[in-house]
Amino acid sequence: MPATEHVRLIEQIADHFNTGALDAITQLVSPSLTGFTRDLALLRQAFPDARFTIEDILAEGDKLADRYTISGTHARPFLGIPATGRQIHLAGISIVRISGGKIAERWAVTDQLGLLRQLGALPASPPP
């Protein structure tokens, strides 16, 4: 699978997330990545207007790295935090391995601390 097809695969996942077609995402990832699809569903449930934006993307061989943001309104409970109506911007970076036209493995880092601060679950900065 050429790098351009790998990039298109990630773009499809972002498009499906943005339209709420989460079932379509399950067709693009290995069954072993149920945690990834579950996390996307939890985000979409709590932030129903969420937008997944790919900021940068690099592909080589069977691997792809992307830097992304997810933005949306906290309209429903998330991780036990009642809806706040606040706008959030979650930044992340992931590396995926693609096999057979699907994401076979995924490693990611997201700014969960920043997200909790945006939701008011933690102070904006640590106490002095």
pLDDT digits over 22-36, tens only? 999 999 999 999 999
Mean pLDDT (whole number) for 117-128:
85
Report which of 110, 109, 94 is spatially closest to residue 6, judged by C-alpha positions: 94
This prediction has a pTM of: 0.91
Q: Which ranges of 20-123 does DSSP label H, i.e. alpha helix? A: 22-26, 34-46, 112-118
| Sheet containing strand 51-60, strands side by side | 51-60, 63-73, 87-99, 102-110
What domains sit in the chain, N to C, each tagged with a CATH number? 3-118 (3.10.450.50)
Read off the pLDDT of residues 57-100 as tens digits, 9 standing for 90 and up. 999 999 999 999 999 999 999 999 999 999 999 999 999 999 99
pLDDT averaged over the chain?
95
- Residue 63 has which token pair? 């691997």
Q: Going by C-beta distance under 8 Å and a sequence separation of 6 or more, which residues neighbour residue 111?
A: 90, 91, 92
